[in-house]
Amino acid sequence: MALHATHRDAGKVTVVDLSGRITLGDGSALLRKTVRGLLDDQRTQILLNLADVDYIDSSGIGELVSGFTAVKNRNGNLKLLHLTKKVRDLLQITKLFTVFDVFTDEGTAIRSFD
Amino acid sequence: MAPDTKHLEMTLETQVESVNLAEEMCLRVAEAAGFGEDDCYRIGMSVREGVINAFHYGNQERPEKKIHLAVDLTPDKMIIHVLDEGTGFKLSEVPDPLAEENLLSTSGRGIFLMRAFMDEFDVVPGKTGGAEIVMSKKLPAPGSSPNGDGGQSTAPHQGA
């Protein structure tokens, strides 16, 4: 399933709702475009909602890391919300679970940016 | 080849679409062979990563080069070969993506994932040059759980 991305504002935080697969090609490209677009709009506090993302490959993992670094370089924060089991497992074996702030509750996640 | 081995092969273009095509083809074979959902996921992901490796690192995304995919289904296991037309590489020279200095690298996790998800994994020199990834997964035992993993977690094997 192709990746879809919409975003909404929650105060200073932008929540990006993603659904589909983040894989080599269009999926990774859309994630990159979305994060870079938010940074261009000075939105540097970003919460990626991955509740409906059931598949990520190494290219998608690389794009998550790339987004994380790009946001950090703008003194912002990129955090993750609602990981599916497969995505959680992937982040754990690649040790990225320790790099990203990961949340299971949206309200808690949004407050963590304060 | 042993008479009870089923063999399937295809030649893929060096393009992004080949990654999905290879994954779909191998998933159909895996499902027909009796692998459960979790093992199919692991096999599909490994095929993706093998073809991505051939597409990007082996063939350098050059469209005149091909990617050769072969699947052998023996009575014991499913063996997948991914051959590129690049210059080859040594596994020992692949950086460890779990090393502290590589954690924030945006690439270099494909080999790690294939090793983690498959039972056997190796890279050998291809007969016509390039690198050949050879990886396999044991077939589920008759009567095993639908997941085909003996009831284990869906988490892949770490450090395999």
Contact state of B52 with A59 under an 8 Å Cβ cutoff: yes
Integer Cα distance of A89 and A54 in angstroms: 11
Q: Domains, chain B, ranges and CATH?
A: 6-138 (3.30.565.10)
CB-CB contact of A58 with A94 (8 Å): no
CA distance B156 to chain A (A): 8
- Coil, strand, or helix at residue B40? helix
Contact state of A24 with B110 under an 8 Å Cβ cutoff: no
A93 in reach of chain B (CB within 8 A):
yes
Condensed to tens digits (0 to 9), the pLDDT of residues B77-95 reads 999 999 999 999 999 999 9
- The pLDDT of residue B146 is 55
pLDDT < 70 regions, chain A: none
Which residue would you say has higher pLDDT here, B48 or B150?
A: B48
- The pLDDT of residue B28 is 97
A57: nearest Cα among B22, B29, B130: B22
- The pLDDT of residue B145 is 64
> Which percentage of chain B shows pLDDT scores above 70?
89
pLDDT band at B155 (very low <50, low <70, confident <90, very high): low
Condensed to tens digits (0 to 9), the pLDDT of residues B54-79 reads 999 999 999 999 999 999 999 999 99
**pLDDT score of B154 more than 70:** no
Q: Chain B interface residues facing chain A, Cβ-Cβ under 8 Å?
A: 16-17, 19-20, 41, 45, 48-49, 52, 97-98, 103-107, 109-110, 112-113, 116, 153-156, 158
Contact state of A95 with B98 under an 8 Å Cβ cutoff: yes
B118: phi then psi, degrees, rounded to nearest 5: -105, 160
Contact state of A24 with B104 under an 8 Å Cβ cutoff: no
**pLDDT score of B52 more than 80:** yes
Average pLDDT on B94-112 reads 96
Integer Cα distance of B72 and A90 in angstroms: 27
Of A25, A61, A66, the CB nearest to B109: A61
Average pLDDT on B23-42 reads 97
Q: Count of domains in chain A? A: 1
A36 in reach of chain B (CB within 8 A):
no
* Torsion angle of C-alpha atoms A9, A19, A98, B137, degrees rounded to 10: 180
Integer Cα distance of A11 and A106 in angstroms: 13
Average pLDDT on B140-158 reads 57
Look up the ipTM and state it. 0.92
Angle at which helices A58-73 and B37-52 pack, to 10 degrees? 70
Integer Cα distance of A88 and A82 in angstroms: 9
Give the range of the structural domain holding residue A76, as residue numbers without chain letter: 4-111
pLDDT band at B153 (very low <50, low <70, confident <90, very high): very low
**pLDDT score of B157 more than 70:** no
Of B106, B112, B158, the CB nearest to A65: B106
Structure tokens at B67: 């990617």
CA distance B59 to chain A (A): 16
Longest Cα–Cα distance of chain A, Å, equals 35
pLDDT band at B156 (very low <50, low <70, confident <90, very high): low
Structure tokens at B85: 């037309």
Integer Cα distance of A52 and A68 in angstroms: 20
Q: State the burial class of residue B15 (Cβ atoms within 10 Å of its Cβ: 0-12, 13-18, 19+).
A: middle
